[in-house]
Structure 1
Amino acid sequence: MIQNIEKLIVKYLTNSATATELDVLSKWVEDPKNKMLFKEFVETHVAINYNMNDPETKKVIEQFLKDIKKEESSRYRIVNQPIYKYAVAASILLLVSLTIFLNRNESKPNKVDPTVVNTPIEPGTDKATLTLEDGTVVALEKGNSFQTQNANSNGEEIIYKDGKGKVKELVYNYLTIPRGGQFHIVLSDGTEVWLNSESQLKYPIDFIEGNKREVELVYGEAYFDVSPSALHKGAKFKVINQSQEVEVLGTEFNIKAYKDESNIYTTLVEGSVVVDNGNLKHNLTPNQQYILNPNTNNFSVAEVDVKTVTSWKDGVFSFIDVPLKDIMKVVSRWYDVDVVFENKTLESIEFIGVLDKKISIDEILSIIKSTSINDYNINKKTITLR
């Protein structure tokens, strides 16, 4: 029971709890004993890097309790009211400077001081490599502007111009995001794409008016906010990769198709999409995730918390019962490091929590060390967990 409650607390703090979950949590916290457990949880797992003697932190905990307090049936009515949204927003702002991280193991290892070779490892930034139609390669990064006949970049995003239906032949560019990078692109039709670390997108510099709009996620992860087909003479939008095709009319969805992962994940945020794996087509509805194994072509569909899946594009990594091995894959891509598990049993330890993408690698490792690992070593760009 307590593990389920802990999960609900994290979902509440990350603004991803449903009205029903909030109701369960508010009833639970009415018990004075549970209120103390709630405070202990917040103090231990939310404010790991914060001075808990600070009076402001005490106020935050009390505010959490006030926000979550049961108010009869009004709980279901206030979730969309501005004051409640403001309270939740305040909680999220707190989490920008704090970190939640809960190890699913009950016991903690003995603490050993980590071995660190002083090599600065910085969080990722906005950067990409643009490959033009003639093969020219251009580095895009914050602080450097770039312009072509078809596009403009300020180093943090690249925006393509609408050709007003003049293009007669498709000409392609590639946008490649390295490890330690992310980038935002606006296609010529107005479709927005957020690309995560270690990703590549192939797309035309302009679309042929009235024809199907098609791009390719060669590998990696991308969030798409597609310009509606009604604005483009009914032209559908399609995202292809090696193992599947996703066709939409105008919607928001996330595709994760990394080369070092066994599955491809397509998550629908809003609207409707059709996923085609070459044998079968499947319609997704919002909050559904299509999971495809490209080696066997088998797939499954699951209900997911889309805010957790897509939080990466908003500056946060969210995890709910995720093995440490998978968490460190995310860390590896964002901080451009290699991770070695000297103790293989650590790989399967599950965590729930939130990590601000701007915090240092040392902070992340200290958080994990406080709950699960004996020691870690940083040597240049390699992290070893013991």
Structure 2
Amino acid sequence: MNDKQAKELIAKFLIQQASAAELDALMLWLQDAKNEQLFSSYVQTNYAIEHQMRQFDPNRLKTKLQLLMDEDIKAVKRKKIRKIISYSAAAVVTVLLATGYFLQNNSFNKPIETTPRIISNNINIGSNKATLTLEDGSQVALEKGNTYQTPNASSNGEVIVYGADKSDGARAVFNYLTVPRGGQFHLVLSDGTEVWLNSESQLKYPVNFINGQTRKVDLVYGEGYFAVSPSTEHEGAKFVVSNQSQEIEVLGTEFNIKAYKDEANIYTTLVEGKVVLNTETAKRVLQPSQQLNLNLYDNSMEVATVNVYNEISWKDGVFSFRRKPLVEIMKVLSRWYDMDVIFEDPELEKAGFNGVLDKDQKIEDILNTIKNFKVIEDYEIVNKTILLK
């Protein structure tokens, strides 16, 4: 593939128009290390925006953009798109953000000239880290560079994997995996189920599941993405995730649960398969691309169809924000960067922002991106606190 073909393919990928075959070609091309750098460069210079500006008139582009924003990523492409993003997550702002801004303002405005005031900056990018609590209460720090090995579990500092044990014992032994602010971690349970835990989350789970019994784990708090090993591979044993006021029963599927301690709602998003949600007062079945919002104040439930990738992109190394108010965006960023955010003007909390941001960026880069699109006028950093102006 020559450079011109690569540019065209990258542009189609960014505007979500690449076919399955084209995604395959792009993944193959990205396997060459030098092409990863080229990919990042094209994204950062907004090639896709220029490409679209040359080929479509504004009215047609505006209509097309709206359709793209309203349409969920097709399941047949989703995993390929995730893999491409994992090769090079340097898409600092997607074509949707920048083009949407262009259409709204009729031009790309120059960055604001004011210089942010950084008195001291102790804010670090999040990383793979967690604390493993064993049944006897002892704790093990898991982080990149540290290995951990027992007869039934091993960790390289980025993932902990439990070995299968066809146990017929009458009692399960439980561990806790706690991910702090500024962290994330990947877990493989003894049945092969994979769990990705986001910042400020805790999962309780058995070291081994008992044959013939329901496989059950407890998301104590926080956010987790579950790729459940099918019941057909475990003698029909169901898999249940318990969380505060609800239980989720699955046979083999992928879904995301967001249930933070400081939020009054629990969001369950189904990626593929089928799940049954049970509360004390109701029972609901979710289909792919549906999200259930459980209000903890009144125990009410609301089901809506959502763009799944916006809800689960965190586990693939990017933040995907669509029509999100700044207060919600900063809550997400605060957990990943382990920082505090203060709004100088409460009205600023309502300001909206659309974009896809790389989780490996420094916080200043993200703030400058938001600033350059005039969502904020300026910011200040003191130690681990950000003041938005």
- TM interval, shorter chain, is 0.7 to 0.9
| Change in 2 beyond 3 A, CA 1:87/1:304 | closer
Aligned residue type for 1:241: N
Q: Structure 2: give runs of 5+ residues left out of the alignment.
A: 1-10, 21-39, 62-73
Partner Cα separation in structure 1 for residue 112 and residue 252 of structure 2: 53
The Cα shift of 1:231 comes to: 1.1
Q: SS of the residue aligned with 1:309?
A: helix
The Cα shift of 1:260 comes to: 1.4
- The question of whether the paired residues in 2 share the 8 Å contact of 1:238 and 1:247 is answered with yes
Aligned residue type for 2:364: D
Q: SS of the residue aligned with 2:313?
A: helix
| Change in 2 beyond 3 A, CA 1:164/1:87 | closer
User: Which range moved further: 272-281 or 118-127?
Assistant: 118-127
Which residue of the partner structure matches residue 33 of structure 2? none
User: Which range moved further: 106-115 or 165-174?
Assistant: 106-115
User: Which residue of 341, 346, 349 corresponds with 1:347?
Assistant: 349
Confirm or deny that 1:272 pairs with 2:274: yes
- The question of whether the paired residues in 1 share the 8 Å contact of 2:14 and 2:48 is answered with no
Which residue of the partner structure matches residue 39 of structure 1? none
Which residue of the partner structure matches residue 287 of structure 2? 285
- The question of whether the paired residues in 2 share the 8 Å contact of 1:185 and 1:193 is answered with yes
The Cα shift of 1:96 comes to: 1.8
The Cα shift of 1:316 comes to: 0.8
The Cα shift of 1:121 comes to: 2.1
1:150-299 matches, within 5 Å, as: 150-299=152-301
Which residue of the partner structure matches residue 384 of structure 1? 387
Which residue of the partner structure matches residue 374 of structure 1? 377
| Change in 2 beyond 3 A, CA 1:140/1:320 | same
- Which aligned runs of 4 or more in structure 1 are off by greater than 3 angstroms? 14-19, 46-50, 57-61, 63-67, 79-82, 85-95, 100-112
Which residue of the partner structure matches residue 6 of structure 1? none
Which residue of the partner structure matches residue 14 of structure 2? 13
Which residue of the partner structure matches residue 96 of structure 1? 90
Which residue of the partner structure matches residue 141 of structure 1? 143
Q: Structure 1: give runs of 5+ residues left out of the alignment.
A: 1-9, 20-45, 71-78
- The question of whether the paired residues in 1 share the 8 Å contact of 2:15 and 2:48 is answered with no
- The question of whether the paired residues in 1 share the 8 Å contact of 2:166 and 2:210 is answered with no
Aligned residue type for 1:62: H
- The question of whether the paired residues in 2 share the 8 Å contact of 1:116 and 1:379 is answered with yes
Which residue of the partner structure matches residue 116 of structure 1? 118
TM-score, normalised relative to structure 2: 0.77
Partner Cα separation in structure 1 for residue 53 and residue 75 of structure 2: 18
TM-score, normalised relative to structure 1: 0.78
Identity of aligned residues (%): 53
The Cα shift of 1:219 comes to: 0.5
Q: SS of the residue aligned with 2:121?
A: coil
- The question of whether the paired residues in 2 share the 8 Å contact of 1:377 and 1:383 is answered with yes
* C-alpha distance after superposition, 1:282-334 (max 9, x if no partner): 00000000000011100100000111111111111101100000000111001
Q: SS of the residue aligned with 2:328?
A: helix
The Cα shift of 1:156 comes to: 0.4
Partner Cα separation in structure 2 for residue 358 and residue 315 of structure 1: 7
| Change in 2 beyond 3 A, CA 1:332/1:168 | same
Task: Tell me the number of residue pairs that the alignment of Structure 1 and Structure 2 aligns.
Answer: 336
Partner Cα separation in structure 1 for residue 193 and residue 84 of structure 2: 31
Partner Cα separation in structure 2 for residue 151 and residue 306 of structure 1: 32
The Cα shift of 1:12 comes to: 7.1
Q: SS of the residue aligned with 1:331?
A: helix
- The question of whether the paired residues in 1 share the 8 Å contact of 2:194 and 2:227 is answered with yes
